[in-house]
Amino acid sequence: MFLYPEFDPVALRIGPLAVRWYGITYLVGFAAAWYLGRRRAARADSPITPLQVDDLIFYAALGIILGGRIGYMLFYGFDQLLDNPLNIFRIWEGGMSFHGGFLGVLLAMWLYARRLGRGFFQLMDFVAPLVPIGLGAGRIGNFINGELWGAPTTVPWAFIVDGEARHPSQLYEAGLEGLALFLILWVYSARPRPVMAVSALFLIGYGVFRFAVEFVRLPDAHMGYLAFGWVTMGQVLTLPMLVFGGILWWVAHRGQRPAVPVRS
């Protein structure tokens, strides 16, 4: 077992300005998405040009930050929101929801697709392989912050936190939702696929990994388990992704419609 090293969440201080590791992980995610997007956009089957990737990352960043914070307050901190609506702006205290950020990105990509005159799923198939590196980086940020620990365990790779051995569920998610999902999507999308297929694989892959990790990840203390002593809010929010991903996969492969780029 390993003793959790109690990282300082602040990476760098410049006068009154504190640069936090969690913020740096977000920058890593956006930078990786930009770099990978530029590479992918150079392909003949890309729906957008390399220059258009710059605006795409801007739209996505707004969707992730606004959607992630609003989603967290609605899904996990609604009581705090009712007590003081201004809590929604207290991002420095932590609290970002993947599912809220996911919905925010969907809205942002819908707006950007309309602006470009592209199909929504045509753009989302391009975006999906760019997302997992950011997800993995964010989970590393959770680990550095010492949050979202797993349940007590006796496995040899557990971390001792406050005198108790716990599953490093943040690292499980970093490896599964980050590295593994990236490799799956990057390899699968290396050649043209039917429209919606890459988006479907993202939903299914993320859904399976997140649902599984929730069995060893402790729910937020103020919420606890929702039912049966094991159902978490994360599982409830992830289940629709699995269902919708399965439907998209069936629709995509039933018609076998190839992704046809429309670039300008």
Note whether residue 95 is domain-resident. yes
The domain containing residue 184 runs over which residues?
2-255
pLDDT at 247: 95
Note whether residue 166 is domain-resident. yes
How many domains are there within the chain? 1
Q: What is the pTM of this model?
A: 0.86
Note whether residue 194 is domain-resident. yes
Note whether residue 16 is domain-resident. yes
Note whether residue 261 is domain-resident. no
The radius of gyration of the chain from alpha carbons, rounded to an integer in Å, stands at 19
Q: Are strands 2-3 and 159-161 parallel, antiparallel or unpaired?
A: parallel
Note whether residue 263 is domain-resident. no
Contacts 24+ apart (CB under 8 A), 89-98: 91/65, 92/20, 94/22, 94/145, 94/147, 95/69, 96/68, 96/69, 96/71, 96/72, 96/138, 97/67, 97/68, 97/69, 97/71, 97/72, 98/68, 98/135, 98/138, 98/210
pLDDT at 93: 56
Note whether residue 264 is domain-resident. no
Cβ count within 10 A of residue 119:
16
pLDDT at 92: 53
What is the chain's pLDDT, residue by residue, as a tens digit (264 residues)?
899 998 998 888 888 888 888 889 989 999 999 999 999 999 988 999 999 999 999 999 988 888 888 877 776 766 776 676 666 656 655 567 777 888 889 999 999 999 999 999 999 999 999 999 999 999 999 999 998 899 999 999 999 998 999 999 999 999 999 999 999 999 999 998 999 999 999 999 999 999 999 999 988 766 778 778 878 888 998 999 999 999 999 999 886 655 555 555
pLDDT at 178: 96
Say if residues 95 and 81 touch (Cβ distance below 8 Å).
no
How far is CA 198 from each of CA 26, 53, 211, rounded to the nearest angstrom? 23, 18, 20
Note whether residue 77 is domain-resident. yes
